[in-house]
């Protein structure tokens, strides 16, 4: 929803008036009544001088909080309107991983110019994170965490935690490392608080912990966070040195983005490819799966041709073929979307593939019985022949069950074979359910032809 839908001109005028009058509280109130995306949109509409004053009045910390809650591509639109020094001040107030996402959206020259204006230590943190690909655990981690040595006592560890609490993103987990920063284990804040003061940290440390490598895909980190219900997961290098952590809020963002991308690919498109690639490149990505679908759909054409005489004698059958194809196709796409999302989050496992297929079979069968009965009654009333309704209802039932099973199996089979399940699931399940649905439909019609005429 855009600012215009909220009376944007009035808000813009009110914000300008507050800036001119140097009313800090009024600027704050206007921004607070909007969502982060709307507030950023409102600020982007200000002329440069008014924007600089608005940021100064609101404070870099408040602006940083807004930018942390919007997509990096949106945040960068506002950041480039600020002076280099103001942009640097805002980035310094942000969590390093969020600041890195925004800097990665800038042109290299712009990014370096802003980093030069930042405090050296904070600029170096961002440069280190930029060295990792953005879709890896290293690219998503934050270097702000608490790590202690194993020879501390519980009360010493708590004292260190109090000193560092304001500088780190989360204090729920405390990591135990050796003198060379190799990750040894983790202990929870609860265990640390409940331990007697003189208890050595090594006595309450959990040494069998979940962790990821910096070069692991970000989905691996997100999936492990969800599977083990963690608030953060440590990221290590090849030598097991602790580099940073990926937090639960990052996992939610990763899984949401991955699911959105996968869902778009179910329809044969990819948002990133559409935006960033040339038409020829986009076509090259999508064409192979469409050609595969065409090949399978030709089998459906052969089935229809095989029963051409039946269609000529009972032309009303052709009127129901699009209905059967569309309804069963939606069942297959729903099943595929559920499985693709489950594979992303870890709720669907290739090891227990039969469980998901059985569940989808039962679900599809229940829906098919209801939809088949409804369409069968419509067909019987329309044609004034009960057998016609049986043919229509039976064909829809078989097509929906087939679509549900294929929608579950194809993504998992694609994953097992190393293909992108989101890219392959949509085209192939649709094609297979057409072949089976039309074959059953016309075969039943041929058996009952004498009662259909």
Digit-coded pLDDT (tens) for 395-421: 788 888 887 888 788 778 777 776 666
Choosing from 215, 247, 279, the residue where a domain stops is 247
| Domain membership flag for residue 252 | no
Residue 4's pLDDT is: 44
Query: Among 118, 126, 127, 171, which residue's Cα sits nearest to residue 146?
Result: 171
How much is the pLDDT for 278?
65
Same domain? 97 vs 215: no
Residue 373, Cβ neighbours under 10 Å: how many?
14
Query: What pLDDT does residue 6 have?
Result: 44
Q: Are residues 358 and 410 in the same domain?
A: yes
What whole-number distance in Å separates Cα of residue 141 and Cα of residue 240? Answer: 15
Residues 100, 57 share a domain: yes
Question: Is position 351 within any domain?
Answer: yes
pLDDT of residue 240: 93
Which structural domain range is residue 48 located in? 3-131
Regarding whether 391 and 271 lie in a shared domain, the answer is yes
- The total number of structural domains that make up the chain: 3
**Same domain membership, residue 152 and residue 125:** no
pTM, to two decimals? 0.54
Task: For residue 274, tell me if it sits in a domain.
Answer: yes
Provide the CA 407 distance to its chain's centre, in angstroms: 20
Residues 284 and 340 in one domain: yes
Classify residue 167 as exposed, middle or buried by CB count within 10 Å of its CB (0-12, 13-18, 19+): exposed
41 plus 114 within the same structural domain: yes
CA distance 286 to 269: 7
Q: What is the pLDDT of residue 177?
A: 92
Please report the beta strands in 248-357, taking only residues with DSSP state E, as ranges in sequence order.
none
CATH of the domain at 387: 1.10.357.20
Same domain, yes or no: 275 and 390: yes
Shared domain for 370 and 437, answered yes or no, is yes
Residues 35 and 118 in one domain: yes
Instruction: Give yes or no for a contact between 308 and 438, defined as CB atoms under 8 angstroms apart.
Output: no
pLDDT of residue 257: 66
Alpha helices by DSSP H, listed for 106-153, are 108-117, 120-130, 137-140
Out of 247, 281, 300, pick the residue that ends a domain: 247
Same domain, 100 and 16: yes
Q: What pLDDT shows up at residue 184?
A: 92
Domain boundary among 202, 217, 247: 247
Regions of the chain with pLDDT less than 50:
1-6, 266-274
List of residues 6+ apart from 228 with CB closer than 8 A: 210
Predicted local distance difference test score (pLDDT) of residue 259: 55
Beta bridge partners of 234: 245
């Amino acid at each position: 929803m855009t600012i215009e839908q909220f009376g944007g001109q009035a808000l813009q005028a009110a914000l300008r008036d507050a800036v001119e009058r140097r009313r800090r509280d009024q600027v704050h109130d206007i921004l607070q009544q909007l969502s982060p995306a709307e507030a950023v949109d409102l600020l982007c509409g200000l002329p440069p001088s008014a924007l600089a004053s608005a940021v100064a009045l609101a404070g870099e910390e408040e602006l940083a909080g807004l930018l942390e809650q919007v997509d990096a591509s949106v945040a960068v639109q506002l950041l480039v309107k600020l002076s280099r020094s103001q942009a640097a001040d805002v980035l310094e107030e942000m969590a390093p991983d969020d600041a890195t996402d925004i800097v990665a959206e800038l042109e290299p020259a712009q990014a370096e110019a802003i980093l030069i204006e930042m405090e050296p230590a904070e600029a170096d943190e961002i440069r280190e994170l930029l060295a990792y690909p953005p879709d890896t655990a290293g690219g998503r981690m934050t270097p702000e965490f608490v790590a202690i040595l194993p020879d501390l006592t519980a009360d010493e560890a708590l004292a260190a935690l109090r000193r560092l609490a304001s500088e780190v993103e989360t204090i729920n987990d405390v990591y135990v490392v050796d003198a060379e920063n190799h990750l040894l284990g983790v202990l929870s804040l609860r265990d640390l608080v409940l331990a007697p003061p003189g208890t050595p940290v090594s006595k309450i440390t959990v040494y069998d912990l979940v962790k990821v490598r910096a070069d692991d895909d970000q989905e691996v980190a997100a999936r492990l966070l969800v599977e083990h219900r963690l608030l953060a997961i440590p990221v290590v290098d090849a030598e097991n040195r602790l580099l940073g952590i990926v937090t639960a809020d990052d996992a939610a963002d990763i899984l949401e983005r991955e699911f959105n991308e996968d869902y778009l690919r179910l329809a044969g498109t990819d948002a990133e490819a559409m935006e960033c690639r040339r038409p020829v490149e986009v076509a090259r990505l999508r064409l192979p799966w469409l050609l595969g679908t065409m090949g399978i759909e030709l089998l459906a054409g052969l089935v229809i041709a095989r029963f051409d005489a039946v269609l000529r004698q009972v032309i009303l059958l052709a009127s129901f073929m699009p209905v059967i194809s569309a309804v069963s196709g939606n069942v297959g796409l729903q099943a595929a979307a559920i499985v693709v999302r489950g594979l992303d989050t870890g709720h669907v496992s290739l090891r227990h593939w039969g469980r998901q297929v059985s569940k989808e079979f039962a679900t599809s069968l229940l829906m098919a019985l209801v939809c088949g009965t409804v369409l069968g009654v419509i067909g019987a009333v329309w044609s004034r022949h009960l057998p016609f309704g049986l043919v229509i209802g039976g064909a829809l039932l078989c097509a929906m069950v087939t679509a549900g099973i294929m929608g579950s199996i194809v993504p998992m089979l694609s994953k097992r074979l190393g293909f992108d399940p989101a890219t392959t699931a949509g085209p192939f399940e649709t094609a297979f359910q057409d072949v089976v649905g039309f074959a059953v439909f016309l075969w039943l019609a041929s058996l009952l032809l004498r009662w259909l005429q």
